[in-house]
Structure 1
């Protein structure tokens, strides 16, 4: 049998807490870490990252202290406090016979306890149901990337309704966190779905719902993703209401939450920051954010985040990184860099797994390459790059394509490259989008 941690390892508050949970081997198995890693934590050589700290908090709540907060655990990890448990012999003295409550009060207390136990027992969702919902979310998040909305949107709505019904009925304390995480992720994926089909107001409501669920359980990664989604959708609004924060303000709040996270969500936030700054003409912010995104990409450990583990639309791969960079470069008139980044994105999507081939982002990268070619006067190359997008069926002409189409149309409208080809392309662009067509006046005359 493995031995408990040595006395030297108990010198740190974290080491003492780990020893309360079991042997190093038992703790390692409990947290999904190596024995060496647990040993280093106990000797204060290293500290658990955010994902391991969450798993440690869940273990402590399950085995030692159900009411421990993440702030209390952070203090123990930082060596600022030690873990203590209530002393069963301390507190008020045991009442004597004269102090005992009347028998009626005792009966009422027992009856109330029985009712509470029955209520809690009735609110437990079966593990099979939770597992099924989790698998559905993973599948739909992946299908979101490489299949059209008519495939994934109806079952995603059904999943959200099922989870909402469970939440409204009340959750068992043991299941609150996993249900809130699952529901928050589903809500934010559905918010992205609303963005894709052009329902901005509904998307904002769902993103705020995901944010509220995440904040209730102190899930910084999910909160930051929801804030990023709010920023993305807010950026598409033609008019903002007084309650809408600016996209850049939302991104700054999200970045403050993630800190030095190794999830791809941090890369996403930096690139969103560069995009929104480009629209405002803050070129120094654009460059800083692009550099921050590259540094964050170098440090990514895709297995550390809850959202990266689900994948699909809840992760931010390199191909999407390049696609978004191409759009920012077009917005800042860096057309050589835009063409290079768009080519990298297109190649990555075309050569990568089909399940990771984002149809929308691939189309946007092609349009941004077409815009860069048009800016260089290469009309044949521009038409060749844009042709796969211009020939899309109506159902695949999703709302996020519209800004890239506008950029392409404006470039085609430049006086020095006007001609028959550009007129024909502008006329074809003007007819795209169906009910999500471009607003009047966005195509140069």
Structure 2
């Protein structure tokens, strides 16, 4: 039996009524096309975790005949529920009305089987885990966070579960590397949802994984994330410190973190009003391209690498703080906006595109071009709530601040009101 203690959730109660172990329930979960680890199922049943992917929610509902919200609710004995029999894995047709969804379910089942069928990861299974992490890293900058957060959490859960089980020594370093990457991605997700404390907790664990993997590029990347979180949390001194802490690792890695860290330092110095330090850091970032060779983290793509487009955006964002650099900031922002026009480009990222438009709006305000500022900010104000991540909202607020300080506030009341309305509904308010 799965357990005889007082169940914490309705799901735990229904599991306890089955003459099955958790591992047997997981096996049937996979038969129905889902993907879940025994550890994740236990944490859902105990109430320790509520996050699930759409696929997991569908499969749980199919297994137990109740909505996930009800399954994960606290168990009340007077509401004793009965379990619904499993849908036969091969006795009927699974139909969702979406053929691609069916194929995704089949791929998830194949993935779970390949990983569960081995006592220690083989090379094929290790490549599958790599592919899972690589997929999320590439998707992160381009897709709304609610669409990928569940997958990201489950991927981290899988990597941690594999690290906690017995693995071949040659795979431990690889798993710690992937644990650092997923932790870094979740640090970014926590930041995007406006939770810097959770972001730093994830980042510290990611750095621990980077140490265990002995990976300089990963260490530098995590320091870059800590610099980013500190910058948007309004702690520019910490942002400078983390960027500088990662510099030595970046130099040894010869990866694109060698560009990311100084350009991150530049915008933190600019936020502090230190124009000389900001310009010097931007110059170091440009010179760093001469040493970039790339590493396995860069090969992940997406959020794991730093390209020219992001450099243009960061430079524009930095110089927009400095009154004496308006013309240079305008040039960088124009280049950045142009660079992010093509949404099919591998480097396209909706958050960086929005930040580039905000920087352009600030430079136009400095020139007294209020209509031009409104035009530049229009694509940002048109973003739906699921794309209003923390950095995007703060960028819009910086435009609002620039309008207040410009002396043209009376002429820009309509734009200010639009910004205020936009920032009232950040991603935290999006129903998930």
- For Structure 1 versus Structure 2, the TM-score category normalised by the shorter chain is 0.5 to 0.7
- C-alpha distance in structure 2 between counterparts of 1:135 and 1:250, whole Å: 29
Shift of 1:239: 7.8
2:243 counterpart (243, 246, 251): 251
2:340 aligned residue? 349
**TM (normalized to structure 1)?**
0.66
Which of residues 282, 296, 300 in structure 2 aligns to 1:310? 300
> Aligned to 1:264, which of 247, 256, 262?
256
Counterpart of 1:135? 131
The residue correspondences of 1:191-270 to structure 2 (distance < 5 A) are 191-237=187-233, 246-259=238-251, 261-270=253-262
State yes or no: 1:320 paired with 2:295.
no
**Following the alignment from structure 2 to structure 1, what is the Cα–Cα distance between the partners of residues 314 and 234?**
21
Task: Name 2:289's counterpart in structure 1.
Answer: 297
Residue in structure 1 matched with residue 185 of structure 2 by the alignment: 189
Distance 1:238 1:248 in 2: 12
Match in the other structure for 2:4: none
Shift of 1:268: 0.2
Pairwise CA distance, 1:318: 0.6
Q: Which among 390, 403, 417 is matched to residue 427 of structure 1? A: 417
Query: SS state of the match for residue 353, structure 1?
Result: coil
**Deviation per CA, 1:175-225, whole angstroms, max 9, x where unpaired?**
111111111111111211212222211111111111001112321110111
1:238, 1:272 → 2: CA distance?
14
How many pairs were matched up?
Answer: 311
The answer to whether the 8 A contact 1:394-1:434 is kept is no
- Tell me what 1:391 maps to: 382
Aligned residue in 2 for 1:175: 171
- Alignment correspondent of 1:283: 275
Corresponding residue for residue 403 of structure 1: 394
Counterparts of 1:58-207 in structure 2 under 5 Å? Answer: 124-207=120-203
CA contact (8 A) 2:137 2:300 kept: yes
Query: How far apart in 2 are the matches of 1:265 and 1:433?
Result: 31
CA–CA separation in structure 1 for the residues paired with 2:273 and 2:234? 18
Question: Greater CA radius of gyration, 1 or 2?
Answer: 1
| Contact 1:142 1:356 (C-alpha < 8 Å) held by counterparts | no
Q: Distance in 2 between matches of 1:172 and 1:190?
A: 26
Question: What's the RMSD between the two structures over aligned residues?
Answer: 2.3
Residue 238 of structure 1 deviates from its aligned partner by: 5.5
Name 2:321's counterpart in structure 1. Answer: 331
Instruction: Report the TM-score, using the length of structure 2 for normalisation.
Output: 0.68
Tell me if the contact between 1:308 and 1:314 (Cα under 8 Å) persists in the aligned partners.
yes
The Cα offsets for residues 423-442 of structure 1, whole Å up to 9 and x where unpaired, read as 1111111122345499xxxx
1:236 and 1:392 map into 2 onto residues whose CA distance is 19
**Residues 388 and 427 in structure 2, CA contact (< 8 A), matched pair in contact too:** no
Following TM superposition, by how much is the alpha carbon of 1:402 offset from its aligned partner in structure 2, in angstroms? 2.6
In 2, Cα distance between equivalents of 1:435 and 1:127:
45
Contact 2:316 2:330 in 1 (8 A): yes
* Structure 2: runs of 5 or more not aligned: 1-117
Q: Distance in 1 between matches of 2:346 and 2:146?
A: 16
Q: Structure 1, residues 64-97: CA drift from partner, whole Å, max 9, x if none?
A: xxxxxxxxxxxxxxxxxxxxxxxxxxxxxxxxxx
